[in-house]
Chain A
Amino acid sequence: MSIVQPIQINVALEVFEHWDSLGVEARANLLTRSARLLSENQASMATWQIDNAMRQISEPHTMPGPTGESNELSTRGRGVFLCTATDTTSEQVKVGLVGQVYAALIAGNTVITVGVEGQKLMDSLASVLPEHIVQNVADSAQDSIIAADHLAGVAAICDQNTAQDLNQKLSMKSGLISQLCEETDWQNLSTIAAPHYVLRFVTEQTVSTNTTAIGGNASLLALGSHEDQ
């Protein structure tokens, strides 16, 4: 049986490249503005995710190496993330949801949220972010998103069993290996609120440039002519 690709995935993919290309700092500016619309705890979580990302992934990492080449490691968004929680009644889960969504967004992904809480979150973000960066689907549509091609991953706040179930569903898909970023400790959000969490939402790119392409190498000349000792 072939599954019809949900429209939200295609829409999210269309806007992904632009959103991803803005860079962490530009996204941080937009997301910081949107965080003002959230409740205090949620806003703290949103701000924390933004700051954490600014510390960890905003600048390309210059790798050491031989003279005559430049090597830079930077991060990009992975694509489209579904951000969901099985039970959104608790305030803490809502904070966790904000953590997921902001981590996914700041990393450069576009996001699909789910249900009523997802809608609220989307509404607050929609006023600031470009169109379609965050979309929301009804609870009933969640499975079709999970099953869709090209979904980069799912961030879920859930219990162990649900996590296993989700993981199995994702693993059954063909194509790229969709990531599951699960949080099973919803009271403490020990995964979402940890510094490395944002790295689950990125893919890395190394750009290696031969800077001696025409035979010239300014850096070496500079080294060679040091005369101070």
Chain B
Amino acid sequence: MFNALEVLQPNFIQRPLNELWQRISPLYTVNEDQWLSQLLPLAQPTDTQLKTCTEAATHLIENVRKDDESTSMIDALLLEYSLDTKEGILLMCLAEALMRVPDKETADAFIKDRLSVADWASHAKNSDSFFVNASTWGLMLTGKVVTMNEKEDGRPANLVNRMVNRVSEPVIRKAMNQAMKIMGHQFVLGRSIHEALTRGQSYRDKGYTYSFDMLGEAALTSDDARKYLKSYEDAVESVGKDTDNKGHRPTISIKLSALHPRYEAGNEARVMTELFESVKGLIKKARALNVGITIDAEEADRLELSLRLFEKLYRDDAAKGWGLFGLVIQAYSKRALPVLTWLAALSKEQGDRIPVRLVKGAYWDSEIKLCQQKGLSGYPVYTRKESTDVSYLACAHFLLSEHTRQHIFPQFASHNAHTIATIYCLAEQLGAYNDEFEFQRLHGMGDALYNSLMKEHDVCVRIYAPVGSHKDLLPYLVRRLLENGANSSFVHRLVDATYPVADLVDHPVTTLKGRKTLHNPHIKLPIDLFENRKNSCGPNIEIESEWIPFKAKIDAFMGQRTQWRAFPIVGGLNSETSDTHIINSPYDHSQNTGRIDWANKNVVTCAIDKAEAAFPEWNTKPASERAMCLDKMADLMEENYPELMALCHREAGKTIQDSIDEVREAVDFCRYYAQEARNQFEHPTTFKNYQGESKTIRLKGRGIFACISPWNFPLAIFTGQVVAALVSGNTVICKPAEQTSLIAYRAVQMLHEAGIPSDVLHFLPGDGATVGAPLTQDKRIAGVAFTGSTGTAQLINRTLAARGVAPVPVIAETGGQNAMIIDSTSLPEQVVRDAVRSAFASSGQRCSALRVMFVQADIADRVIPMIKGAMKEQSVGLPYLHSTDVGPVIDKKAQDMLLEHIEHMRSVGKLIAQSDLPDVANNGTFVAPTAFEIESIDQLTDEKFGPILHVVRYQAHDLDNIIDTINRSGFGLTMGVHSRNETTCARIAQRARVGNLYINRDQVGAVVGVQPFGGQGLSGTGPKAGGPHYLQRFAIEQYI
């Protein structure tokens, strides 16, 4: 591991740039305890230093608290708003959505929803925090902080009742908008740079300077990116015209995600050309006008890409020799220190000092969540606040060192008095002059703190000030409040006079060392997300150190030299037949993946004979023994990850992330069902029957299960069905889809290797006629698990029923006509991102994929063009490329059907957009993502299993009719809802006859054991796969 103390040696940054670069990525999810042990000595003060900085911090805080005006309205708001309580979030949610709801009807319904007594009454027991928020309500409604008195106002619920009764929704709507304007005024320096410069003058007179940030979220379309670029250009021009020559010149901060719709590692080529050109243009303009530019830091996945882009820009003539092109580094990132060493070396090499703003980091919650979802090996950020503070000081130590500060101009952004005091002491101790670094703070925060500092020290303080409309304020504000608004945050405590000063000046090194563990034990690693089973893992393909070695392993299976050869497996042996089929890659039909022999009727009979004979013994094994095979299977699949990935690409045409998700789902099925079997099957259960008698039952297998699976999840669904049947005590005969039998063959080999006896599981590739029919006609089949079309499910059911034996379970998962309902309280950016993913990811070849999107008419004209723009940014192509969003469809038959539907829709609907197809598309079976606007879901007869989205406008008052029409389709698989109105969400959840409902997110990618999956009506029989009731259907309840 990186020896952190070494960075203090002046020769450290003399190492080759590439060598320093190589040290960055491996620290992405480095073991937190080990890495912090390295960092702690860098941040560790001597006793004298500790004493000095504690005194300085104490002095600073006392000064701040002495200042009567220290509690600005913003600080007060932070104090009042307990943003780590639900009601604080609810209020923010209300304010945020209200500002952009265009129609009064929805706005008023939304207010009613938020104010509904049921909502608030649930918080009544926590009256302290409730009153805090009630005060905030006062603030919202009257524009000033008012104190609510419990005696006067009675119980909180009563208070709310009175408030609601007194003022009607339209009044509140107006008041809320007014309140948001007030908040906007406090948090946003101006709606334009001009206004900001004017309003900022008084601070500049005091000696402050500014860095302006243009408010706005990430661009999803090229149009948005152009719009943001224009606003940055305007900002640069306005600042350039600034004639105030006192003090330091203001700078501009830019967010790269606003300047390119695909600022992602997978689109590096576009980022390094298109985005490069945009930023280069800005740099040229800014340089000509002497306006410094700082690139803001964003998500951890983008760090490496941002550095590569930064290097290219920095080395370009546009920036060479300038010295005002800088960037932001987040101290909560485990990679912060090596990034700084690399930057110092880069600067040393070129000779232009790089301004670096050191922040703590604002995306902490989403970073944690993302890692848990992706099953990553750890977190890219520290899990304790004090660890981030330690990292901050360690980085500061490096930045302020003599050999670094000639190359990097450090800008310390913090509102923590202790951090500020410590940095100042550190600078003095390391001999840094006051003009060799600066401090930064946010507009509207930390006024008193920095006023106090500036009174005593001649130091530059820059205010980071957002500029833009109130409408764009909230996402920014929420991030700031999340950073600083929690009760535990320094800002919160600083203004809380009851909080002892001594507790505010603890050195983070002391605090951290006082913990039992350096990492936070309350935040489990992604792999430990579930209590009783291991989470499946996956690499992060956005991160060099994770993706490059992993890709190399996959590549070993990607060449034409690698060909798979598969056969029916009966009794553990390959059963050669003369019926050999070649499997091609869907993205290039000239590329072979392998060959497979199909089974015939004799092979089917032979397999059933063996499975029948093997059943009694297998069924009497303890469930835990069977479960162990599943656990082993999960491990084997993870060991064979690269080969399985290659098969997903080459046989099924799956993209990289889809292939990872495929393997992960298969692994999760194994571990989840293993655990469910241990819980439900291992021991008998005793209950009192209706006559009060004690009865004992045990779950046992039914006999031979036939598992018939589809091509769209060739490993996950295949494995899921098979292992569920096996672990329940059944013997299994599995028939994979003809298109994707090779990966299934490998899965069966692994299952045998994992300990499933050879006579217990048999593999019969073939089509419906050669294998499906003889299999389901056999009287010995005791149950069928099937995933595929509704028509085939009915056929199987009929065949089974016609056998003249007792009825057996048919567990069928079939198609859907999945809808998404979007009302005007939803956030369009989020809607578009989720809709595009739901409709087009995996080329729309998911049972759960979005087919019909219902958009409230009031926002349709905003949402539909955004969808169009986002579709233009979708990259259709070879699935094994990182840049590809949408791969091929499975085969010619599917392609023909989809193209035919597109042609039909051209005549009955209105084309919204169609993504471009690359030249290589002609080698395989591709269908371009296409969207149509139609009048009604009734214009669609059946499911079209591909990347085709239909959009219907609806009026807010028609919501119930819309739900009725969706229900009338008879399908009931997934539905998405985008609304901030919980009453609306609950109503839709109540009325929609669907199996899986997703609120304010995409509607694909159900996770085993988290979102049990399956539909109703024409969409399937249940029980849900990956849910607690699934295994029971594979079993009988045997009385003992």
Contact = CB atoms under 8 A, between A and B. Distances in A.
Given A225-B487, A225-B488, A64 B995 contact: no
Contacts of B1037: 191, 194-196
Interface stretch (B430-438, B804-812, B836-844, B916-924): B804-812
Interface stretch (B235-243, B294-302, B725-733, B1007-1015): B1007-1015
A47 interface: yes
A47 B690 contact: yes
A193 B804 CA distance: 26
A160 B515 CA distance: 67
Interface in A174-191: 174-177, 179-180, 182, 184, 190-191
Interface in A193-228: 193-196, 199, 202-210, 212-218, 220-227
A44 interface: yes
Interface stretch (B85-93, B550-558, B878-886, B948-956): B85-93
A123 interface: no
Interface stretch (A4-12, A65-73, A83-91, A110-118): A65-73
Nearest to A153: B1021
Contacts of B827: 213-214
Contacts of B613: none
B84 A168 contact: no
B140 to A, nearest CB: 16
A124 interface: no
A25 interface: no
A199 B488 contact: no
Interface of A: 17, 21, 41, 44-45, 47-49, 61, 63-69, 71, 73, 76, 78, 95, 99, 160, 163-164, 167-168, 170-172, 174-177, 179-180, 182, 184, 190-191, 193-196, 199, 202-210, 212-218, 220-227, 229
B1032 A73 contact: no
Across the A-B interface, the 5 shortest Cβ-Cβ residue pairs: A48-B690, A171-B801, A66-B372, A225-B488, A210-B1001
A60 to B, nearest CB: 11
Contact of A224 (B85, B481, B523, B970): B523
Interface of B: 83-86, 88-89, 92-93, 96-97, 364-366, 368-369, 372-373, 383-385, 474-475, 478-479, 481-482, 486-488, 515-517, 520-523, 529-531, 685, 687, 689-692, 697, 793-794, 797-798, 800-802, 804-807, 810, 812, 827, 830, 970, 980, 985, 989-991, 993-1001, 1006-1007, 1009-1014, 1016-1018, 1021-1024, 1027-1029, 1032, 1037, 1039
Contacts of A163: 806-807
Contacts of B1017: 176
B503 to A, nearest CB: 11
A66 B812 contact: no
Contact of A203 (B802, B806, B995, B1007): B995
Nearest to B1020: A177
B991 A17 contact: yes
Contacts of B365: 67-68, 212, 216-217, 220-221, 224
Secondary structure at the A interface, as helix, strand, loop or mixed, is mixed
A68 to B, nearest CB: 4
A175 B970 contact: yes
B1016 A203 contact: yes
B474 A168 contact: no
15 contacts: A63-B1011, A65-B1010, A66-B372, A175-B1018, A177-B1021, A194-B697, A199-B1029, A205-B996, A206-B997, A210-B1001, A213-B830, A213-B1000, A216-B481, A221-B365, A229-B515
Contacts of B383: 224
Given A177-B1021, A206-B996, A226-B520, A218 B801 contact: no
Contacts of B812: 177
A164 B805 contact: yes
Contact of A73 (B92, B517, B989, B1024): B1024
Contacts of B1001: 69, 208-210, 213
B92 A214 contact: yes
Contacts of B685: 195
A29 B368 CA distance: 44
Nearest to B688: A48
Given A66-B373, A221-B486, A216 B998 contact: no
A78 B1016 CA distance: 8
B515 A61 contact: no
A176 B969 CA distance: 11
Given A66-B529, A176-B1017, A205 B997 contact: yes
Contacts of A207: 989, 997, 999
B522 A226 contact: yes
A95 B475 CA distance: 61
Contacts of B830: 213
B1032 A196 contact: yes
B482 A215 contact: yes
